[in-house]
Structure 1
Amino acid sequence: MHTVITFGTFDVFHIGHLNILERAHALGNRLIVGVSSDALNLRKKGRLPVYSQQERMAIIRGMKYVDHVFLEESLELKADYIEAHHAKMLVMGDDWKGKFDHLSSLCEVVYLDRTPTISTTSIIEVIKQR
């Protein structure tokens, strides 16, 4: 077994987040999670998350599947994060399929199927409509 690393915003925590963390944890003996910073989310999605980076990190830190949490400040630093945490496997949702294949020289890259019919964006839209 080995160290697995994954990354995400984990805003408005839902069953899809839980599923990917549980499945990533099962692939190794240690799970490291990079939580996207507020600034990274603003650059990537054009909006701030509902919950602050400190709140999102606290939620992820509290998960029994997670061994360590750190703040991801740049998508371009994934290789550095993988090396710093001695990860042997990068796990991402399949919405990122192919986008991190270039990191396969550093570690195994695995894309897991997302939980169907759920996303943070869709949850936020439901809340807005109510």
Structure 2
Amino acid sequence: MQVKKKAELCEKVILTYGTFDLFHIGHLNLLRNLKALGARLIVGISTDEFNSLKGKKTIIPYEQRAQIVEATKFVDEVFPECCWEQKRTDITRLNVDIFAMGDDWIGKFDDLSDLCDVIYLPRTKDVSTTEIKKMMQQQFV
């Protein structure tokens, strides 16, 4: 019975989304932990236009962020995230078993649990893109 569960885990498709600006150890840890949940990790990368709608300004352009994330050994596929509403369609289109995000999003995507398992993973302590950007701003003021 335990062997079957392990085999089932290995076949799982995991989906996450993010901006992944100023790629750092927190991003790497998240991708590593997500990949450990299944066989295939797919990542939706927020486009520059979508980030602008969210009130975020990125330092690294979308194309470069997508290449960086895709280059990690944990990620099997990346695609552009253009709007909040696409998640339901993506989950169905990609046959996703687990939708996962960092725990700073706890509860925000629970409505997707009718399509797949929804989980929130702990963030890496003391590192975030927002904090890095604040530190950079202070350096250049």
Normalising by the smaller structure, the TM-score range is over 0.9
> What are the within-5 Å matches in structure 2 for residues 39-58 of structure 1?
39-44=49-54, 46-58=55-67
Give the superposition deviation at 1:128: 1.5
Larger Rg: 2
Structure 2 spans left out of the alignment, 5+ residues: 1-9
* Cα distance in 1, alignment partners of residues 45 and 122 from structure 2: 20
Q: For residues 54-111 of structure 1, give each alpha carbon's deviation from its aligned partner in whole angstroms, at most 9, with x where no partner exists.
A: 0100001101000000000011111111111111000100111001101001000010
* Partner residue, 2:40: 30
2:20 alignment counterpart: 10
Amino acid in structure 1 at the alignment position of 2:102:
G
Provide structure 1 residue ranges, at least 5 long, that are not aligned to the other structure: none
- List structure 1 segments (4+ residues) > 2 angstroms apart after TM superposition: none
Q: CA RMSD in A?
A: 0.8
Amino acid at match of 1:15: I
Percent of aligned positions with the same letter in both sequences?
A: 47
Give how far 1:47 is off: 3.5
The aligned counterpart of 2:93 is 84
